[in-house]
Amino acid sequence: MRILAAMSGGVDSAVAAARAVDAGHDVVGVHLALSRAGGTLRTGSRGCCTIEDAMDARRAADRLGIPFYVWDFSERFRDDVIDDFVSEYRAGRTPNPCMRCNEKIKFAALLERAMELGFDAVCTGHYATLVDGAGGLELHRASDAAKDQSYVLGVLTAEQLAHTYFPLGDTPSKALVRAEAEQRGLSVAQKPDSHDICFIPDGDTRGWLADKVGAAQGDVVDRTGAIVGSHEGAHAFTIGQRRGLSLGVPAPDGKPRFVLEIRPVSNTVVVGPKEALATAEISGSRFTWTGRAPAVDEFDCHVQIRAHADPVPARASLSDGVLTVRPETPFDGVAPGQTAVLYDGTRVVGQFTIDDAVSAVPLSA
């Protein structure tokens, strides 16, 4: 096959490209330039897709003896990922930019261009596996549970899965990938993994958002509406947050309070007891199926609401264009804007963006 290897400059994508070469494919490497800030450099393990990463990717491609290009996707990344991130926070939601990047950039814009240029598939260093099932190609969890990235790939469609290649999915551990990189003479063998949001390399999400959204003083209230504090911008808070609330009025029972709700229109943050974070139901209308769609409108599954959260047994139902999930045991601290990924065993069934979350604890509790 003709394979376009997306090379981020990290060890995973470099080894994935190497394995594609070993498998006998015609491989071309490409690095995606996602920022117009040409002088941007990594800070330790923070950030990715920088000048340093592009140079690391080129050195890896040279070592593998494959052609290498840098494609400028910065405008598309700004429109589909960064602007979406800002607008979601303005609306009081908590977005996942990695999901949007996979959905809009790596497996939409990149894959579309690859197909136009005659490539058969895009290869990445994601830890996930593809399986030929009875109903077509399926996306499954990786062998290494600690590195499994099937959650952030839940946005892929059946058509995208048909043109995707994940050479690392069956690798038992990241340590083996690093050892393989050493053996191949790849300079990125011990390069730190990137963390945090790539377009906020200093890790100061609150400060970055304040610059984009603007700071405005507002009230912090309890579940009855009583004012218990103030803040400098609702965008700085997330559901489930405990620290940094600066409450002027202690809770009657003396227990810590957590962010339960963000109301962007009134610039209000609602706080309450930890038990009020329990969520009995989540739903959303922006959903996709990963591979074949379920044969029925109501089915049992496991649901994961964060990249590293434990999957929870649940019942999912589809009605009037809205996908609703009711877990056997309540979720903890669900925020609108998060992504819920549905599993059947190790297979990814689909995903949806959470629009609404229903508390398991009544207001009077």
Residue ranges of domains in the chain: 2-183, 215-272, 277-359
Active site annotation includes 98: no
Q: Which CATH superfamily is domain 277-359 in?
A: Translation factors (2.40.30.10)
For residue 65, the number of C-alpha atoms closer than 13 Å in the C-beta half-sphere is: 6
Q: Residues 49, 101, 123, 301: which is the catalytic one? A: 101
pLDDT tens for 207-230 read 888 888 877 889 999 988 999 989
Q: What's CA 183's distance to the chain center, in Å?
A: 31
Mean pLDDT, residues 257-266 taken together: 90
Whole-number average pLDDT of the chain = 90
Active site annotation includes 101: yes
Whole-number pLDDT of residue 208: 86
Whole-number pLDDT of residue 51: 82
Residue 36 pLDDT greater than 80, yes or no:
no
Whole-number pLDDT of residue 48: 60
Rounded Cα distance, 244 and 231, in Å: 10
Whole-number pLDDT of residue 41: 46
Token reading at 319: 């009605």
Topology of domain 2-183 in CATH is Rossmann fold (3.40.50)
Whole-number pLDDT of residue 219: 93
More confident residue, 237 or 56: 56
Q: In what order do the strands lie in the sheet with 227-231?
A: 227-231, 218-221, 268-272, 258-263
- What percent of the chain has a predicted confidence (pLDDT) above 70? 95
Beta carbons within 8 Å of 194's beta carbon, 6+ residues apart = 8, 10, 42, 45, 46, 47, 48
Helices 11-22 and 51-64 sit at what angle, rounded to 10 degrees? 20
The CATH code of the domain at 215-272 is 2.30.30
Residue 365 pLDDT greater than 80, yes or no:
no
Rounded Cα distance, 114 and 317, in Å: 36
pLDDT tens for 99-154 read 899 899 989 999 999 999 999 999 999 999 999 988 889 999 999 888 899 999 99
Token reading at 148: 């499994």
Token reading at 276: 């009020």
pLDDT category at 247 given cuts 50, 70, 90 is confident
Whole-number pLDDT of residue 180: 97
Whole-number pLDDT of residue 232: 85
DSSP class per residue in 256-271:
--EEEEEETTTTEEEE
- H helices of the chain, where? 11-22, 51-64, 74-77, 83-90, 97-101, 110-116, 158-161, 174-183, 205-213
More confident residue, 322 or 45: 322
Mean pLDDT, residues 293-311 taken together: 94
Q: Residues 48, 49, 198, 301: which is the catalytic one? A: 198
The closest of 193, 154, 169, 203 to 339, measured between CA atoms, is 154
- What percent of the chain has a predicted confidence (pLDDT) above 90? 64
More confident residue, 34 or 280: 280
